[in-house]
């Protein structure tokens, strides 16, 4: 890896800033001053110091993000703020959101640069559960729950896979949780439309073993703990 790339990815500064550090002699590789930003280093073995601080490199990073409504699940968008715009404390450019949440949907979103784990979590053959809380216009019934459990026709080539619908409160406006094992386009909204109802509010509570903490507010994020990461990898095997 290039020395300047290593420094930016470990948060030492922007590309222009780290070039200044290197030029000034503030960066050492294995105890020797490094003068060239294009110097190739072994990020896993070499000891890199910048301004007297030893920097550690992580190949993969994992963040739990509480997506607010109004931002798009993308790395770039010319019209709206993206979920990546909220990650202000990491310098990595290879991070991406795992799966999608609609612009008006809130809740748990995993952001990482681990493509293998992302593929496992999103693969329909792995059946990784995703649970949502929703407010629904209209009375949700046990009959609706039975239809969800069978698998609904939502306009695709194949019916949606069986899902678990739990009614929290039924009335003119109902509250439910719904657990699905797929991630089709607008899937939750289309499933309720299939039984003649409309989603008013939607929030993802969990993905696999990863649960949205009560103290993580919309727009906030934090790194996964070692235990969370271990459990998440186990549930996607």
Average pLDDT of span 103-114:
97
What are the tens digits of pLDDT across the range 145-187?
Answer: 999 999 999 999 999 999 999 999 999 999 999 999 998 999 9
pLDDT at 30: 95
Residue spans in the chain of domains classed CATH 3.10.290.10: 3-55
Residues in the chain: 237
Q: How many angstroms separate the CA atoms of 206 and 126, rounded? A: 16
Q: Name the DSSP letter for residue 103.
A: T
CATH of domain 3-55: 3.10.290.10
**Rounded average pLDDT over 93-102:** 93
What's the confidence (pLDDT) of residue 15? 85
User: CATH classification of 130-207 is 2.60.40.10, yes or no?
Assistant: no
Closest residue by Cα to residue 13 from 47, 37, 39: 37
CATH 3.30.70.580, domain 62-124+210-235, yes or no:
yes
pLDDT tens per residue, range 183-201: 899 999 999 999 999 999 9
Residue written as tokens 């030029």?
Answer: 23
Give the model's pLDDT for residue 178: 98
Per-residue confidence (pLDDT) for residue 125, from 0 to 100: 86
Ranges of CATH 3.30.70.580 domains, the chain? 62-124+210-235
Q: What is the dihedral of CA 167, 168, 173, 178, to 10 degrees?
A: -50
Phi, psi angle pair for 106, to nearest 5°: -105, 175
The boundaries of every CATH 3.30.70.1560 domain in the chain are 130-207
- Reply yes or no on whether the pLDDT at 137 is more than 80: yes
User: Helix, strand or coil for residue 176?
Assistant: strand
Q: Is 233 exposed, middle or buried (CB count within 10 Å of its CB: 0-12, 13-18, 19+)?
A: middle
pLDDT(91) > 80: no
Instruction: Flag whether pLDDT at 57 surpasses 90.
Output: no
pLDDT attached to residue 101? 95
| Residues known to be catalytic | 102
pLDDT, residue 10, reads 82
Q: On the CB side of 129, how many CA atoms lie within 13 Å of its CA?
A: 14
DSSP codes joined into one string, 181-234: S---TTHHHHHHHHTT-EEEEEEEEEETTEE--TT--TT-EEEPPHHHHHHHHH
pLDDT beyond 90 at 59: no
Determine what percent of the chain is predicted with pLDDT higher than 70.
100
Per-residue confidence (pLDDT) for residue 75, from 0 to 100: 92
């Amino acid at each position: 890896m290039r020395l300047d790339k290593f420094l930016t990815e470990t948060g030492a500064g922007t590309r222009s800033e780290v070039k200044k550090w290197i030029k000034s002699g503030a960066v050492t590789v294995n105890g020797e001053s490094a003068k060239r930003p294009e110097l190739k280093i072994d990020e896993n073995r070499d000891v890199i110091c910048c301004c007297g601080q030893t920097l550690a490199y992580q190949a993969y990073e994992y963040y739990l993000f509480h997506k607010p409504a109004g931002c798009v699940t993308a790395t770039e968008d010319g019209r709206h703020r993206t979920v990546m715009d909220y990650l202000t404390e990491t310098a990595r450019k290879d991070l991406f959101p795992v799966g999608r949440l609609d612009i008006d949907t809130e809740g748990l979103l995993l952001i990482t640069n681990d493509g293998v784990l992302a593929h496992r979590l999103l693969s329909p053959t792995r059946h990784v559960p995703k649970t949502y809380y929703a407010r629904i216009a209209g009375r949700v019934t046990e009959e609706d729950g039975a239809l969800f459990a069978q698998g609904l026709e939502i306009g695709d080539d194949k019916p949606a896979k069986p899902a678990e619908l739990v009614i929290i409160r039924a009335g003119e406006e109902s509250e439910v949780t719904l657990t699905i094992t797929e991630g089709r386009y607008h899937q939750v909204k289309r499933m309720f439309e299939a039984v003649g109802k409309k989603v008013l509010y939607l929030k993802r509570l969990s993905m696999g073993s990863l649960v949205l903490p009560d103290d993580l507010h919309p727009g906030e994020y934090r790194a996964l703990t070692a235990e969370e990461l271990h459990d998440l990898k186990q549930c996607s095997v």
